[in-house]
Amino acid sequence: MGEIMSGNRLQGALPKIGIRPVIDGRRKGVRESLEARTMEMARSAARLLSENLRHISGEKVECVIADTCIGGFAESARAAEKFSREGAMASLTVTPCWCYGSETMDMDPLRPKAVWGFNGTERPGAVYLAASLAGHAQKGLPAFGIYGRDVQDADDTSIPPDVRAKLLQFGRAAVAVAAMRGKSYLGMGGVSMGIAGSIVNPDFLESHLGMSYEGIDMSEFIRRIEEGIYDKEEYARALAWVKKSCIEGADYNATPLSKDKKEKDWEFIVKMAMIGRDLMIGNPALEMLGFGEEALGHNAIAAGFQGQRQWTDHFPNGDFLETMLTTSFDWNGIRQPFIVATENDFLNGIAMLWGHLLTGTAQIFSDVRTCWSPEAVKRVSGIALSGDAQDGVIHLINSGATCLDGTGGQSRDGKPVMKPFWEITPGDVDACLRMARFCPADYGYFRGGGFSTTFETTGGMPVTMSRVNWVKGLGPVLQIAEGRTVDLPATIGAKIMDRTNPTWPTTWFAPRLTGKGAFREVYSVMNSWGANHGAVSFGHIGADLITLASMLRIPVYMHNVPEERIFRPAAWNSFGTSDLEGADFRACANYGPLYGLE
Instruction: Report the catalytic residues.
Output: 343, 367
Instruction: Calculate Rg over the CA atoms of the chain.
Output: 25
Q: What is 473-487 written as a DSSP string?
A: TTEEEEEEEEEEE--
What are the two backbone dihedrals, phi and then psi, of residue 573, each rounded to the nearest 5 degrees?
-60, -30
The enclosing H or E element of 245 equals helix 232-245
Residue 569's identity, in one-letter code, is P
Q: 90: closest CA among 151, 45, 37?
A: 45
Amino acid, res. 173: A
How does DSSP classify residue 572?
G
> Nearest 5°: phi and psi at 164?
-55, -45
Which neighbouring-strand residues pair with 439? 452
- In angstroms, the CA 135 to CA 147 distance is 17
Contact 152, 120 (CB under 8 A): yes
Which pairing describes strands 88-95 and 329-330: parallel, antiparallel, or unpaired? unpaired
| Residue 78, phi then psi, degrees to nearest 5 | -65, -40
Among the listed residues 377, 412, 408, the one whose alpha carbon sits nearest the alpha carbon of residue 391: 377
Query: Across the chain, which distance is largest between two alpha carbons, in Å?
Result: 90
Residue 82 and residue 204 in contact, taking contact as beta carbons nearer than 8 Å: no
d(CA 103, CA 68): 15
CA distances, 363 to each of 60, 254, 282, 323, 353 (Å): 21, 33, 22, 10, 8
Q: In sequence order, what are the beta bridge partners of 476?
A: 470
Strand order of the β-sheet with 16-21 is 63-65, 16-21, 88-95, 113-117, 144-146
Q: What's the half-sphere exposure (Cβ side, CA atoms, 13 Å) at 313?
A: 5
Between strands 88-95 and 16-21, the pairing is: parallel
What single DSSP character describes residue 504? S
Contact by Cβ (8 Å): 574, 137: yes
From residue 290, alpha-carbon distances to 40, 231, 286, 344 in Å are 54, 11, 6, 30
User: Crossing angle of helices 259-281/219-226, nearest 10°?
Assistant: 110
Residue 334, φ and ψ in degrees, nearest 5? -85, 130
CA-to-CA distance for 96 and 23, rounded, in angstroms?
A: 8
CA distance 312 to 321: 13
Q: Are 69 and 17 in contact (CB under 8 A)?
A: no
User: Is 93:75 a contact under the CB 8 Å cutoff?
Assistant: no
Closest CA to 476 of 363, 568, 589, 391: 589
Mention every residue, 6+ apart, whose C-beta is less than 8 A from residue 526: 368, 370, 371, 394
